[in-house]
A and B are shown apart, each in its own frame.
Chain A
Amino acid sequence: MFIGYFTERPYQDPKSGYFGATGKSIMDLNVSNEIYDAELGASLYNRYLDEKIYAEEMGFDGLMLNEHHSTPFCMGGAMNVEASILARITDRAKIVLLGNILPLWDDPLWLVEQLSMIDMISHGRLVSGWVRGTGRESVAHNIEPHYNWERFKEAHELIVKAWTTPGPFRWEGKHFHYRHVNPWVKPYQKPHPPIWLPGVVSRDSLIWAAEQRIPYIMLATEMEPTKQAFQIYHDTAAELGYESGPQNIGYLWKVHVDETEELAEQTGRKYVQGPSNPFLAGNEGTTNQALLHLPGLTSRRRVLPTTSVATAARGGSAGPGGVLSRPYEQQVEDYTIISGTPDTVIPKIRHVLETIRPGSIFFWDGDGAMTHDDAMRSLRLMGQEVLPAVREMAKELDLPGPFEVDPATGQPYVAETNSAQPAEVTADD
């Protein structure tokens, strides 16, 4: 079992009047950055990095980052900058990027270099995920939504080739063109850092992941459709003649642990307060229907069972004031939010693991209106009680993670580096 820690790094500004109970609209993409407070921004960036260091200390295997653009709910507009810092200030946990928004960049070769440098500086701790991005991302960086999937696949091919094929070579594709591909920095890991794919909606992406034997991570979706979507992965694998397992699938959801049930209830409610992702259930933001249906971004016909749930969560049944469907209570009931003391949280996590059978899980915590103290209390209790219990559970349920069983081969995972000679053990080790 691979256990990661995630928070979306919201820009929390109680004075802005946009968040909380003041009722000011936070329609997606309509919040002007004129409210941005530099001191607050600086302290929040450092807070979220500090929490990552503590998460490593508390025993998490992975520190997960994501990236969104032009929005207050995720401050990681340049996630690779945060990852670069983590590469230097942490020393054991994997740095899990879920992920770089592959279609968004006209120069994927720059990504090749950034990611290789992060892998180098971290001595091979990078997990390099790709995403396709939402309509917001296509608008913010003005990239053709209708070529999202084509650009995704072409950039992936280019990056993997640049990581694995000695240069220089030329690349004449449909969307990317290079006369000289020969990045000096190579990744530390061999053949290249693991590539994972998180998602929610697109059937094409999930099947593509299964074809590439790339682990697929479901993001905060309800359990039953999640299970159905993973079955598509497993069925695709079977058609391709290999047996996929827990190592091929991962699941992110909201888990908060606290000292008392009362405190857990109070703090858990903060998930749906403040500038949480307007694409997700129960928050106070308002979605922009045009962004959700940006032309050609995803095929309108080839969607996953998780889509209808995502669509409902995205304002399909928004009530008065734009408050979205699936309030806190309902998310607690369907296990997409688990908040409690270790004693109540652990059996609920077990239920999720038994139902979905993932090899990787990510606890999404410290979000919405949660404070640094809220996040740190939870991290401490996770480290002391929850993670050890979950590891035992995973052994008992036979849920190997992708660093135990290699998703690409189904064989025990072996780490290899790009060293020209076999790595030597130095006195420091």
Chain B
Amino acid sequence: MTTGTQAWTEQTVEAAGVQLQMVTGGSGAPLLILHDEFGHHGQLRYHEALARDFSLYIPSHPGFGATERQEWVMNMRDLAGWYLEALDDLDLGPVNLMGFSLGGWLAAEMASMSPDLFQKLVLVAPAGIRPSTGEIFDLFLVVAEEFLTVGFHDPEAAPEYRQVCPEEPSAELAEAWAVAREEACRLSWRPYMHSLGLPHLVHRLKRVPTQIIWGQQDNIVPVSAGQVYHESIPGSRLDLFDSCGHRPELEKTDEFVALVREFLSS
């Protein structure tokens, strides 16, 4: 789905033994984007905007979209380990890395394992750390539409809400959600959406400039987890949006793009 003038290429590339579905577009320094628990939602306004300054690489993780699930991957750390070899094979490092929600957790795991592979790290409302207050909203006790909607502070005010969560999802989209939820489940069921070791492991990111972005009204991953991330990563910056939920990139698109561009370009 293309919303603007940017040309996008969708292809399958071989990486670490997997046929990896990958969307690419834009020009400039490479920026690897790791999607959330529902897979890649298609190219949205923030992709368009970032593509003016960066070459975007948007893979579908194994088990999401058209990329085949790897049965041996039993948790997020397994997936992060696989991804590092994929980056080797794609000759992508050192690269800027940005992850959303479940993809933010994945990004934090990958960068903690191999900080030298990454120039800068942007974590957008990442899962992965147990919030100090509140709980991570349970993806598996509600249907997809409810989870997606809860992710917005004010869904009707977000121009792309219905693009991400149509009133009547097509059979194709419903199937894609079902596939994505199953892989998300495999990565995050127990402990739910977090790893007890991660706050300690991310300390190694002291060598990687890290930007943490969160909505103050995040109903999916409470903003208190953002504080823990911030305190656990020496030198990191925490940017908070008011009147914003779990999806700053969709609810505060212009401000979000400006912040990220400023951070990555500095």
Binding site for B on A (CB under 8 A): 29, 139, 142-146, 288-291, 293-296, 300
Name A295's contact: one of B142, B146, B184, B190 (CB within 8 Å): B184
* A143: chain B residues within 8 A (beta carbon): 190
- CB of A363, distance to nearest CB on chain B (Å): 35
Q: Is the CB of B185 within 8 A of A291?
A: no
Inter-subunit contact B185/A296 (CB<8 Å): yes
From 182 to 206 in chain B, residues with beta carbon under 8 angstroms from any chain A beta carbon are 182, 184-186, 189-190
Residues of A within 8 A of B35 (CB): none
B141 pairs with A145, CB closer than 8 A: no
30 A/B residue pairs, CB under 8 Å, sorted by A: A29-B141, A139-B140, A139-B141, A142-B190, A143-B190, A144-B186, A144-B189, A144-B190, A145-B185, A145-B189, A146-B182, A146-B185, A289-B143, A290-B140, A290-B142, A291-B141, A293-B143, A293-B178, A294-B140, A294-B185, A295-B178, A295-B181, A295-B182, A295-B184, A295-B185, A295-B186, A296-B182, A296-B185, A296-B186, A300-B178
Q: Beyond A293-B178, A295-B140: 19 further Cβ-contacts under 8 Å? A: A29-B141, A139-B141, A142-B190, A143-B190, A144-B186, A144-B189, A144-B190, A145-B140, A145-B185, A145-B189, A146-B185, A288-B141, A290-B140, A290-B146, A291-B141, A295-B178, A295-B182, A296-B186, A300-B178
Q: Which 3 interchain pairs have the tightest Cβ spacing?
A: A295-B182, A295-B185, A295-B181
Quick one: which of B133-157 are within 8 Å of A by CB? 140-143, 146
**A294: nearest residue on chain B (CB-CB)?**
B140
In angstroms, Cα B146 to Cα A296, docked, is 19
The distance in angstroms between the C-alpha atoms of A183 and B190, with both chains bound, is: 29
Contacts of A294 in B (CB 8 A): 140, 185
A289 to B190, CA, bound (A): 21
Give min CB distance, B145 to chain A, whole Å: 10
A154 to B139, CA, bound (A): 28
By a CB distance below 8 angstroms, the chain A residues around B189 are: 142, 144-146
Please indicate the chain B residues that have their CB under 8 angstroms from the CB of A29 in the complex: 141
**Residues from chain A with Cβ under 8 Å of B185 in the complex:** 144-146, 294-296
A291 to B184, CA, bound (A): 16
Residue of A nearest to B183 (CB): A295
- Determine the distance from Cα of A289 to Cα of B185 in the docked complex, in whole angstroms: 16
> Would you give the shortest CB distance from A290 to chain B, in whole angstroms?
5
Bound together, the chains give a CA A289 to CA B146 distance in angstroms of 11
B141–A290 touching, CB < 8 Å: yes
Neighbouring A residues of B140 by C-beta, 8 Å = 139, 145, 290, 294-295
Contact A146 B141 (CB under 8 A): no
Contact of A290 among B143, B182, B184 (CB under 8 A): B143
CA distance A146 to B185 in the complex (A): 7
Q: Which residue of A lies closest to B187 (CB)?
A: A146
| Residue from B178, B184, B185 with most neighbouring chain A CB atoms (10 Å) | B185
Give A103 to B182 CA distance when docked, in angstroms: 17
Query: Closest approach, in angstroms, between the C-beta of A172 and any C-beta of chain B?
Result: 15
Render B212-239 as a binary contact track against A, CB cut-off 8 A, 1 for contact: 0000000000000000000000000000
Q: What is the minimal beta-carbon distance from B171 to any residue of chain A, in angstroms?
A: 13
In the complex formed, the residue of A with least CB distance to B191 is A142
Within 8 A of A (CB), among B164-186: 178, 181-182, 184-186
Closest-CB distance, A226 to chain B (whole angstroms): 27
Cβ of B180 to closest chain A Cβ, rounded Å: 9
Residues on A with C-beta less than 8 A from B181 are 295
Nearest to B72 among chain A residues (CB) is A174
Bound Cα distance from A144 to B185, whole angstroms: 8
Shortest distance in angstroms between B19's beta carbon and chain A's nearest beta carbon? Answer: 21
